[in-house]
Amino acid sequence: MGEFELIRQFFQREQAENTPAGVVLGIGDDCALLQPPAGCQLAISVDTLIADVHFPADAAAEDIAERALRVNLSDLAAMGAEPLWFTLALTMPSADEEWLRGFSRGLFRTARQFDCALIGGDTTAGPLSITLQVMGSVPPAQALRRDGASPGDYILVTHSLGDGAAGLAVIQQRLSLNAAHEDYLRNRFYRPEPRLQEAYLLRELASAALDISDGLVADLAHICAASDLAAVIDVASLPLSPALEAMQDQMLARQWALTGGDDYELCFAVAPEKMPDVAMLIAEGRLQATVIGALAPGSGVHCELEGEPFVLHQSGYRHFAHD
């Protein structure tokens, strides 16, 4: 199958059925032509996923596609931006039709779920790698940035931490729990939830935010650096899922929550005067989030358990750390 037939069959066909919002010209020309929503700013992010670095190479193509798009959408959520469009640069060893069918299915299912349209890309031969670029819109001056936090702001995270690392451990058979917990964790790894609805609520409430991809400690350090502050985390307050709470080794569960990565939850700062509004959203069940610490003058991320410093075993996943 030639390159153009492949593009037509697996990436263009679904598009022909309906024209997504703002797409003046989609796949098939030298460029896509896009009309952003009036008055909005564009939020753009690109990410490359390499086989065996960012996902197991033998994972199902459908899972790889779904995870790749969800991870990118999480970057839009981290800015408070609403998904609009994405591009796909796909490099693969050969045009394996069965693999492409699965990949296309996972990709478009996710694209439909989050209302984000594929508008172009590039297809080349080589070792398996997937580059997605997402574009979203955000009202002017409402984006959730890393540099807006102040001393005294609370630090919160959405949902639970450590599930990404535990999910990978289950997939790689380094962790075994009961079947329901294992299913939950595998699902958390392959289908991380971009916290978009949470992010829209936080636009007016958070002073800084990001999504946790490399681990809480490593990512929170970016807010600290950008806002010129220190963070103090109370390890006992870290939200753990029932699956992590079922682990025999609770110290390992906490280490994963702090440094494991792949969680794609939001970590955000809230000024004390905005906390009643955030607490109300939490009480109403519209926002699932937990206070895990506070920002203070200084630098770096400091973890404490019962008043004592908590020793970290690694401070986040670093690609090429073994080089």
- Of the two residues 28 and 242, which places its CB atom closer to ligand ADP in the complex? 28
d(C-alpha 209, C-alpha 148), whole Å: 9
Least Å distance, CB 111 to ligand ADP, is 11
Task: Supply 219's token pair.
Answer: 């990512």
Grouping H, G, I as helix, E, B as strand and the rest as coil, residue 311 is coil
d(C-alpha 155, C-alpha 211), whole Å: 13
How many Cβ atoms from other residues are within 10 Å of residue 319's Cβ? 10
Can residue 97 be called a binding residue for Mg ion (CB under 5 A)? no
Binding ligand ADP (rule: CB under 6 A), the pick from 5, 97, 115, 122 is: 122
- Of the two residues 11 and 55, which places its CB atom closer to ligand ADP in the complex? 11
- Residue 48 CA: distances (Å) to CA of 45, 68, 82, 261: 10, 9, 21, 16
Least Å distance, CB 211 to ligand ADP, is 24
The DSSP output letter for 36 is P
Q: Which residues in 24-43 contact ligand ADP (CB under 6 A)?
A: 27-30
Can residue 3 be called a binding residue for Mg ion (CB under 5 A)? no
Task: Supply 228's token pair.
Answer: 């010129």
Least Å distance, CB 89 to Mg ion, is 9
d(C-alpha 35, C-alpha 46), whole Å: 20
Can residue 122 be called a binding residue for Mg ion (CB under 5 A)? yes
Least Å distance, CB 147 to Mg ion, is 36
Can residue 204 be called a binding residue for Mg ion (CB under 5 A)? no
Least Å distance, CB 117 to ligand ADP, is 11
- Of the two residues 120 and 261, which places its CB atom closer to ligand ADP in the complex? 120
d(C-alpha 254, C-alpha 238), whole Å: 8
d(C-alpha 206, C-alpha 107), whole Å: 31
Q: Which residues in 88-117 contact ligand ADP (CB under 6 A)?
A: 88, 90
Which residues in this chain contact ligand ADP in the complex, by CB under 6 A?
A: 7, 11, 27-30, 88, 90, 118, 120-123
Which residues in this chain contact Mg ion in the complex, by CB under 5 A?
A: 122
